[in-house]
Every structure is written in C-alpha cells, then in structure tokens.
Amino acid sequence: MSKKPLGKIPASALQMLEIPRYEQAVIDGFLALDDLTGTVSDAMDELGLDGVVPASVLMPTLPMARMAGPALTLRNVEQRDNAYKGARERVSKMAEIEAHNLAQKGDVLVIEGVAGISNMGGLSAAIAQREGEAGAIVDGGIRDVAQSRSQGFPVWSRGVSSITGKWRLETVAVNGVVSICGKQVKPGDLVVADEGAVCFIPREQVEAVLRRAREIGEGEARRYADIKAGMPVPELAQRTHVYKFNPQP
C-alpha cells in the first residue's frame, strides 16, 4: 500500500511514491560476491556502464559495511533565503523525512546534496535505520557520524561537516533523477557499495551485471586457488584469458 506524503514539500516535488524494487534473490546474489564492488565494477566496464564512484570520493563511515538495494532518491539545494533568518524563526526546509516515510526495508537513500554542509545527521540516520533502510549515499556533507556508527547504519559521503543544513538547504525533489558525483541515478536503480566504491547500476542492466560479476568472481576464485596451490607465474600468466573471460575451467 502506498504511503501518503507528509506535506513537508510541495506535492509536485514527490515525483514517485513507489519505486521499482528487486526480488530478494537478486539482492542476495550481489551480496554473495566476495569482492563486491570490484567484480561489479569490472562487469560494468565490460558492459559499457559508467556508474562507479571510488570510496576515496564517497567515503564510508563503516569501512567493513557492504550493501545492495534500490535507490530512493532525494535532491537538496542551497536556500535562497538568509540561513540565519531560518535559524531565528526555526524553519527548516530539509525534508528527507518524506523519503524515510516512503522507504521499505532494504532501500538505499541516495541524496544529491551540497558539499561542506550536513545533508544528513544522526536523527535522520536513526529514522532510516528504524525503517529498515540498508544505508545512505550522500553527495555532500553529513554529521553526527558517531551516532550513525553506533546505530550500525552505514553512510557513504563526500565528507563530514558539523554545519547544519536545516537552515541552509532545501529539499526540492524526492524520487526524481539525481546526479551523484557526475553519475546519473534514477529511482529504483540498484546501489551496490562497500569499502572500495559505490556502484549505481541501471535497473534494466542489473541481471546482466550480476551474471557477469558472478563469472568474474568465479574466475578470480580459481586464480587464487591456483596461486595457493603453487602454480608457477608463467603458467598463471598463460591462464589469464581463461580466468577473465571463460567461466569454465
């Protein structure tokens, strides 16, 4: 059943109330990959998909975290009004609560935000965690990192800033197309992330990426086994084509 908007932003800014989602088997298939974003990034390269952002740009707050889930998108911009006027009058124009209200278990909140200002804090992370969201991706600043860490809620962001966005930012769209570090993300695209990168996979390419990532992972597993078994370097070099492109030994 669709949830009703909370009225924090104009109805026109809520572009979708329901996003496309995936069978659990698809999510489990990605999470079963040993080198999650490594194999997914390689598969996306082979399929000509440009949607990978390194962790040096979007840094994880929980280094060992890994996740896969559909994108629930949100866009923030800087307010035109004086920020201190909003602080004096206690008027916030941020509305990620609208996205949390639409979230289902396993969704990933993806925020096109503003650098140097917090687009997500500890209270928002607590709500996201309670609603079952898998994590958040923020192209911009975040704060209250100790809180989100203590909750076990992973966030990948451009950086950390204690400067609040409550009086400085305005949410202008929920579940529209966003740009994250130059990568276009649509609601329902699959987000895959770990300590190495964040990958945005177009919905129509998810099955193809998973299939190829599995093949790449199987090839790497065979190579690791051959290395451990003592296979000489020249023979390893000769087998490179087999490891990379032939899923059968």
Whole-model pTM over 0.75: yes
Q: Answer yes or no: is 222 a known binding residue.
A: no
Go through 71-83 and write b for each residue having 16 or more CB atoms within 10 A of its CB, e for each that does not.
bbbbbbeebeeeb
The whole-angstrom separation of Cα 137 and Cα 12 is: 24
Residues 6+ apart with CB under 8 A from 186: 71, 73, 177, 202, 203
Q: Are 109 and 139 in contact (CB under 8 A)?
A: no
Q: What is the pLDDT of residues 152-191, one digit of tens each?
A: 999 999 999 999 999 999 999 999 999 999 999 999 999 9
Residue 141 confidence (pLDDT) above 50: yes
Q: Are 78 and 244 in contact (CB under 8 A)?
A: no
* DSSP per-residue letters across 83-134: HHHHHHHT--B--HHHHHHH--TT-EEEEE--TTSBS--HHHHHHHHHTT--
The whole-angstrom separation of Cα 46 and Cα 16 is: 31
Q: Answer yes or no: is 144 a known binding residue.
A: yes
Give 13's pLDDT tier (boundaries 50, 70, 90). very high
The whole-angstrom separation of Cα 242 and Cα 249 is: 7
The whole-angstrom separation of Cα 41 and Cα 160 is: 26
Residue 246 confidence (pLDDT) above 60: no
Radius of gyration of the chain (CA): 20
* pLDDT at residue 90 in the model: 78
Give 248's pLDDT tier (boundaries 50, 70, 90). very low
Q: What is the pLDDT of residues 21-34, one digit of tens each?
A: 999 999 999 999 99
* pLDDT at residue 110 in the model: 98
Domains identified in the chain and CATH numbers? 11-23+49-202 (3.50.30.40)
The whole-angstrom separation of Cα 1 and Cα 18 is: 9
The whole-angstrom separation of Cα 207 and Cα 210 is: 5
Give the mean pLDDT of the chain. 93
Q: What is the pLDDT of residues 52-103, one digit of tens each?
A: 999 999 999 998 999 999 999 999 999 877 666 777 777 789 999 999 999 9
Residue 211 confidence (pLDDT) above 90: yes
Residue 239 confidence (pLDDT) above 90: no
* Torsion region of 144: left, alpha or beta (phi above 0 gives left; psi -120 to 50 gives alpha): left
